[in-house]
Amino acid sequence: MDKLKPIGIFDSGIGGLTVVKTLIEKLPQESFIYFGDTAHLPYGDKTRDQLFGYAYSIIDFMRKKHVKAIIVACGTHSAVTLPSITEEYDFPILGVVKAGAKSAARLTRNGKIGVIATQATVNSLAYTKNIKEINCHLDIYEVACPRFVPLIEAGRLEGEETRKAVEEYISPLLRRNIDTLVLGCTHYPFLTPVIREFIGDKIILVDPAWETVEEMKDILKGQDLLSDSGILPEHKFYVSGDDSSFYEVGKRLIGDVIDRVERINLD
């Protein structure tokens, strides 16, 4: 039955687990296959050609696993590769950028939105374009934060170095008087406590995962693909490179949902 097929989810590493967490909360009956492309981490400094190569091999892997839909739980792929590849497949493929843009445009009150993301995402200006499409009067300020992903993958979610990086990257946005900050890389919600401590409680933090999972729910519902059986869902985790930090840091976020991580080579 198509309804029982899994949803495919991928990212460079543990970032997409922030989307998994929301998926489990909102759609607990869904099975999924997660792929963390840890052999090619970080994605943020890769070229367009490299990113397209990774996207095609991961999506082909997921197609062979008979997924019913894919969530690109990665800001970088959602910004750079996704706009050109969705049409090539006969199942829904959804990213996080449009969802994040939609939430930010809806939530801002003073019209000044900050976006923190990887270098590749910032270079693509995908957030600026998507937010402007919704409301061209909004001001968007994007900042690349290349030190965040290595810190998060190493499990350094707090401490002096992490706090300094947060201060350095976000200070210029505070000077712009933003009232809304988009976590434009799926790794960044791991830093929410440190970011919140630095920015205070007045600024709205947007984690695109929430709106993305809502959109996936609507798509599956529209195609009569929502899993509605009483059968326990299955969750499988694959990585292409190092699996120990994925397992350890990932467990801190989503606990026992990760019981085993399998290493596979897609090259």
Q: Does 21 bind ligand DGL (CB under 6 A)?
A: no
Q: Does 212 bind ligand DGL (CB under 6 A)?
A: no
The residues with which 141 forms a beta bridge, in sequence order, are 114
Counts of helices then strands in the chain (DSSP H, E) = 12, 10
Name the amino acid, one letter, at 251.
K
The residues with which 8 forms a beta bridge, in sequence order, are 33, 70
Residue 136 is among the residues annotated as catalytic for this protein: no
10, 32, 58, 76: which one binds ligand DGL (CB under 6 A): 76
Q: Which residue is nearest to ligand DGL (CB)?
A: 15
Enumerate residues 6+ apart whose C-beta is below 8 A from 26. 213, 214, 217
φ/ψ of 137, rounded to 5, equals: -90, -5
Q: What is the nearest approach in angstroms of ligand DGL to the Cβ of residue 93?
A: 15
Q: What is the nearest approach in angstroms of ligand DGL to the Cβ of residue 184?
A: 7
Site mask for ligand DGL (CB under 6 A), range 169-208, x = bound: ----------------xxx---------------------
Residue showing tokens 């899994």 = 6
Looking at the Cβ atoms of 216 and 225, the one nearer to ligand DGL is 216
Q: Which of 174, 178, 176 is nearest to 166 (CA)?
A: 174
20, 67, 72, 74: which one binds ligand DGL (CB under 6 A): 74
Looking at the Cβ atoms of 147 and 163, the one nearer to ligand DGL is 147
d(CA 209, CA 97): 10
Cis amide prior to 146 (ω within 30 degrees): no
Q: Does 11 bind ligand DGL (CB under 6 A)?
A: yes
Q: Does 81 bind ligand DGL (CB under 6 A)?
A: no
Dihedral angle sign, alpha carbons of residues 162, 211, 92, 98? negative
103, 108, 118, 245: which one binds ligand DGL (CB under 6 A): 118
Q: What is the nearest approach in angstroms of ligand DGL to the Cβ of residue 163?
A: 20
Dihedral angle sign, alpha carbons of residues 105, 107, 111, 115? negative
Q: Please check whether residue 36 is in contact with residue 13, taking contact to mean a CB–CB distance below 8 angstroms.
A: yes
d(CA 96, CA 211): 8
Q: Which of 148, 141, 190, 188 is nearest to 168 (CA)?
A: 148
Contact region with ligand DGL (CB under 6 A), list: 71-79, 85-93, 162-170, 224-232 = 71-79
Set 185, 209, 225, 258: catalytic member: 185
Residue 185 is among the residues annotated as catalytic for this protein: yes
Site mask for ligand DGL (CB under 6 A), range 24-63, x = bound: -----------------xxxx-------------------
Chain residues 134-173 in contact with ligand DGL, contact rule CB under 6 A = 149
Residues with catalytic annotation? 74, 185
For binding to ligand DGL (CB under 6 A), which residues are involved? 11-12, 15, 41-44, 74-76, 118, 121, 149, 185-187
